[in-house]
Amino acid sequence: MNGFRSWDLILSTAEIILNHSTDRITIRQPDDWHVHLRDGAILEAVLPSTSRVFHRAVVMPNLNSPITSLDKAVAYRKQIENLIPKGHDFKPLMTLYLTDDISPDIINDGFNQGEIFAAKLYPANSTTNSSSGVTDIKAIDPLFAMMESIGMPLLIHGEVTDPDVDIFDREAIFIERELIPLLSRHQGLRVVLEHITTKDAVQFVEDFSGNLAATITPHHLHINRNAMLANGFRSDFYCLPVAKRELHRLALRRAATSGKECFFLGTDSAPHVRGAKESACGCAGIFNAPVALQSYAEVFDEEDALDRLEGFTSLFGPKFYRLPINKNFISLVKQTYIVPESLDVINHDNSIERIVPFHASKKLKWTLSV
């Protein structure tokens, strides 16, 4: 038995045992506009958690060997497609990892061939596997010009990496220092500021009257920095951009539940095995794919905005990306769901490692109805 099967079994058991539903909501099937699926054994273990719920997903390109060419994007897409479980109707949308020396032709060819959906900008060393990222954003203006002319979206990890800037200020400073000039140099470029974490980003995206949107993760709606730093260091809650003060979390909740089309779902689910999270230099990332939709539902419920959930999860993303909305529907029921404590990864040498999901062993108020 491999990892995802045991996970599905646990899900079904929890759903059956705790079946005392009173409320139910049905929405268009969502898409995940920002996910890390990794490769190899981790991909095999985590993919079903995403493909079970989401129809499409924008797959991040920051593998150990980043997706910097058309050939790599095609090979990665095929690797993912070969692992989609039977019965899951899932389409990965591939992204290109921008570097200082990628040629505009790769962008043009990849887009025209329908293989590369968007390009991802990581400022060098901003997060996991970003050491090959861009060192001088202005220097790759020819790439942005090409994207602007063909209509390829730009997805941004919006943090400066200047060591002089405090880690809690890196998003706000990025907006001032890099994003505003970039948007004014390329006014036709469609840009997504990914996984926003601050009231500054909320305000900026809300006020900007152009081709700019933002994704918001479930974890940044649920936790502030205390989850990671109070009562002992908790690496399970360490992600990048890091969770900020409570006032920022509240601003994000207001944005996500506002019904404004510039804010939509992107889980930034980012799995790491236990040993990589708990080490002298622990990896950033929260694996939330198995509980993402339930987590969002809980937030919208608490904010008395369940009528706006579908816009955020399933309508605004396709509108921004100029894709059709999904035909299928998915239901959630209001019943207690106990999140499993871990997911097994079966390595190719048959050794087993664990990935701890967001909300591990906690109770959530909403459950997927399958």
Per CB under 5 A, residues contacting Zn ion are: 268
What b/e readout covers 217-244, taking b as 16+ CB neighbours within 10 angstroms? bbbbbbbbbebbeeeeeebbbbbbbbbb
CA dist., res. 216 & res. 268, Å (int): 8
* Least Cβ distance, residue 268 to Zn ion (angstroms): 4
Q: Which is nearer to Zn ion, 44 or 268 (CB)?
A: 268
Q: Specify the length of the chain in residues.
A: 370
DSSP 311: I
Nearer to Zn ion, 28 or 222 (CB): 222
268 is catalytic: yes
CB nearer Zn ion, residue 148 or residue 268: 268
Q: Considering the complex, what minimum distance in angstroms separates the CB of residue 184 from Zn ion?
A: 25
Report the residue number, 51 or 267, with the smaller CB distance to Zn ion: 267
Residue number with CB closer to Zn ion (126 or 367) = 126
Name the residue whose CB lies closest to Zn ion.
268
Find where tokens 């989609």 sit. 84
Burial of residue 270 (number of CB atoms within 10 Å: 0-12, 13-18, 19+): buried
As measured in angstroms, the least distance from the Cβ of 157 to Zn ion is 7
- Closest to 6 in 3D by CA, of 314, 365, 340: 340
Distance CA 162, CA 295 (A): 33
Query: What is the nearest approach in angstroms of Zn ion to the Cβ of residue 120?
Result: 9
CB of 244 to Zn ion, least distance (A): 16
* DSSP 3-state of 95: strand
The catalytic residue among 39, 268, 304, 307 is 268
Question: Quick check: 187 and 210 in contact, CB under 8 A?
Answer: yes
User: Which tokens in the block code for residue 101?
Assistant: 């020396």
Active site residues: 268
